Amino acid sequence: MVKRKLKVYGTRRRGHREKHYVKKEGKYRYFEVRRDAKGHFLYKKKWNPKKPLKAETYTELHPLVIPYETGREALEKVREAVKMWEWVEFDAES
Amino acid sequence: MTLKAEHEWVKNGYVIGFMTDRGVILDLDNMTFKKVRHLARTLCKQYRLEGYIIVRSSPRNYHVIFNRYLRWKTVTMILFSLWEAIRWGVFQLREGYLTLRISRKNGKNKPKIVFKTGKTDKLIADYMDVYESFKRF
């Protein structure tokens, strides 16, 4: 069967780097922090300078392409894919 | 009132698009329904596209989906035979497939089917499958 495709597009972001003071160690450390569209904290992960942030942690403008076979399958896949990302407001100058 | 339909960025949230490289779909902006139907009917006859549906995405903006499966070369040939679709076609062809919106965008409603004629068992069936699935999304 031919694989059909759907495109989900918009400006999406998964997380970003933030500096936090660690009480125990008395040092500043970088964490990968994810916030929702309102700016509320969701979770943080330790960030290692030797392992830089993945490409997906930056703001993405490229569309998500979702392959599917049936409409119901497409709906489930899109729901999952959409939840993975934070969809941010974006106003282009042009 | 501006006569020329400008490209509109997705300002908030996300938009879901139906993608294909197996048939002809058109995005006709700033046009009356009569003209859209005339163009669709002419193309359908000329290239034996079997059938078509017209979907209204917003007032004076329409999408047309033709039923027949075609090779990419033929799709490009048909797309560029119509000067009304050239501007949209150039941007789509850069990506290698054609896309039409099936969800809300910047406060605009979902597209609505306004006209259906001919066979609907190939590309139109593919479109209708996702259109129906995402109706309440």
Q: Which of B8, B10, B15, B126 to mutate to test the interface with A (most CBs of A within 10 A)?
A: B10
**A4–B9 C-beta distance less than 8 A:** no
**B10–A10 C-beta distance less than 8 A:** yes
Q: ipTM value of the model?
A: 0.84
**B20–A90 C-beta distance less than 8 A:** no
- B21: containing domain: 17-133
* pLDDT for the residue numbered A86: 73
- Please tell me the total count of domains within chain B: 1
For residue B5, tell me if it sits in a domain.
Answer: no
Instruction: For residue range B35-57, list pLDDT tens digits in order.
Output: 999 999 999 999 999 999 999 99
For residue B124, tell me if it sits in a domain.
Answer: yes
| A20-to-A17, A92, B83 alpha-carbon distances in Å | 10, 32, 57
- A60: containing domain: 4-87
Q: Please give the structure tokens belonging to residue B88.
A: 């949209």
* pLDDT for the residue numbered A1: 66
- Please tell me the total count of domains within chain A: 1
For residue B4, tell me if it sits in a domain.
Answer: no
**Cβ contacts (< 8 Å) between A89 and chain B: which residues?**
11-12
Instruction: For residue range A18-71, list pLDDT tens digits in order.
Output: 778 888 888 888 887 777 656 677 788 877 666 655 544 556 667 889 999 999
For residue B59, tell me if it sits in a domain.
Answer: yes
B2 pLDDT above the threshold of 50: no
Contact (CB, 8 A) for B111 and B56: yes
Max distance between CA atoms of chain A, in angstroms, equals 59
